Structure 1
Amino acid sequence: MPTITKLERQKKNTSRISVFVDGEFAFGVHEQVALKYFLKSGMELPADLRRKLEYDETISEARIVAERYLARSMRTEKEVRTRLREKDFRQEIIDIVVEALLRDHLLDDARYAEAFIRSAQRLKPRSRQKLLIDLRKKGVAEETARAALEEAEEPIDDSETAELIAAKYVATHKGVEPEKLKRRLFGYLQRRGFRAGDIFPAIRSVLEND
């Protein structure tokens, strides 16, 4: 029976343990995996235990990838799943890791939607419909996205937002012929997801006060 002859903490990555079997290096595992199975020198290592170690090590690796991805910015569940698929983890492993992240509140699409709306309205205002579309593209469920829109810290009024955007646009396009400015401004607001019913009053108000 193969036997663990030495456990040694790795120098380059101190959270990993090198496992030596019958006097030779066999594989490395995360310290949490080693602790879970109470690995120690002199312990026999049957094939089924080796498979369990490899399985849990894969879960640990996937979790580390996901946490590093989340450390850079908030992400949706869909984005994390996509990231793990890109790293060639099996669907079963992805499901286990995502469920753990949700349980530990490291993944929360509702919280993501709230932060996304808050940031978008501060940096690049847009219509409610455009916000909804953008959140859906990120993988946020429609019900979750709509709830976040309703509960936004600052109420989202499309008519007010359209007028605010129009005013900023006009201020940076001085000297443009009026009719050409109207056409460009209409297209600009339309791309931000506003309806004609909000666009025309906004353009009229801004140009009258310009």
Structure 2
Amino acid sequence: MKYIISKIQVQKNNKDRVNVYVNDEFLFACSGELVYYHNLKKGLELDKNKIIEVVEEDNYIKAKNVALKVLERSYKTEKEIYDKLLSKEYDDKTIQRVIKFLKEYSFVDDIRYAELYIKDKIKVHGKSKIKFSLSNKGIGEDVIENKLSNISNEQEELTALKLGEKKYNTLIKSEKNHLKLKKKLSDYLLRNGYNFSIINKVVNSIVVCDDFSETVEQKEVNFEELNNLALKRLNVLKKSEKNKDKLHKKLYDYLLRRGYKYDEIKTILKEIL
């Protein structure tokens, strides 16, 4: 049976694509540029291999355009692109060809992706959560471990301390039991990917049991004791807070919870800040 092109018609809703009719019946649609590339025209006889070649090339062009549009919105891993094209029902051969093109022109680079992702997420997450997320995105374990090794324990601990302080200020409004508060704060940091060593260190520096003890009534304040307490807490707060005004407020709130009066706190803060 001969396959003779009987008509090539530009699509109404997409001027870049055409419908190809063979033996007066619709056979396939393709990109307009393929018509010129393969010199398709009315009356041309096609063999099956030529038809397959045109269709495969058209699928590749469409899949490549889908991938590029996805990458316009945000950087993606190789696996994310593969999964996206697979969901659009492109075959594996076409997808692999698209990914090869994307890698050749650095549109997809898993190592670079890992670097950027870690740089962004290390501000709010611990290494464990970052590793889990990157693994799900298809990044190799050796790449993940290599890039995470650039993050020091001190850097991770400082981030955990900042997050812990912020969460503590929210929790303290409704939770007054220091054991439950520690548990909630620990669970929060655990969910954010920090290890138990960092969690214990951070939680113990933020939640001090004495903060929740009843205030001892005293006629006169021991300012030396108050000064030492304020300086001790100040050294903890400085690790995660550099803004002087916020530092002042956090230290004030802390001393207020310990039962000291406004004038007493104001006096001591004026001396140490």
Query: Structure 2: how far apart are the matches of 1:112 and 1:99?
Result: 17
Based on CA coordinates, which of the two structures has the bigger radius of gyration? Answer: 2
User: Deviation of residue 179 (structure 1)?
Assistant: 1.8
Task: Find the residue that maps to 2:20 and give its secondary structure.
Answer: strand
Aligned partners of 1:78, 1:31: CA distance in 2, in Å? 30
State the one-letter code of the partner of 1:168: K
2-side partners of 1:170 and 1:129: how far apart?
22
Q: Deviations over 1:19-76 (max 9, x none)?
A: 2335554321013433332323443222221121122222223223333333333221
Residue of structure 1 in register with 2:185 after alignment: 185
Kept in 2: contact 1:79–1:139 (CA 8 A): yes
**TM-score under structure 1 normalisation?**
0.83
Q: Which residue of 2 is the match for residue 174 of structure 1?
A: 172
Query: How do 1:97-112 and structure 2 match up within 5 A?
Result: 97-112=98-113
- Superposed CA RMSD: 2.6
Give 1:65-84 correspondences, 5 Å limit: 65-84=66-85
Aligned residues with identical type, % of pairs: 28
Instruction: Give a deviation string over 1:68-121, Cα, whole Å, max 9, x none.
Output: 333333221112222222233222222222212212222111222223223324
Aligned to 1:18: 19
1: CA distance, partners of 2:11 / 2:91: 27
**Aligned residue type for 2:77:** T
Aligned pairs for 1:1-210 (under 5 A) are 1-22=2-23, 25-122=26-123, 125-150=124-149, 157-175=155-173, 176-177=175-176, 178-208=178-208, 209=233, 210=254
Query: What runs of 5+ residues in structure 1 fail to find an aligned partner?
Result: none
Alignment partners' CA distance in 1, 2:79 and 2:69: 16
Looking at structure 2, the residues matched to 88 and 76 of structure 1 have their Cα atoms a distance apart, in angstroms, of 19
Determine if contact 1:7/1:17 at 8 Å carries over to the other structure.
Answer: yes
In structure 2, runs of 5+ residues without a counterpart are 209-232, 234-253, 255-273
Question: Which residue type is aligned with residue 84 of structure 2?
Answer: R
- For 2:28, the aligned partner's letter is F
CA distance in 2 between partners of 1:35 and 1:148 (Å)? 47
- Describe the shift of the 1:53–1:155 C-alpha distance in structure 2 as closer, same or farther (beyond 3 A): farther
In structure 1, C-alpha distance between the alignment counterparts of 2:36 and 2:121, rounded to whole Å: 44
Distance 1:9 1:105, change over 3 A: farther
TM-score normalized by structure 2?
0.66
Extract structure 1 runs of 4+ deviating beyond 6 A. none
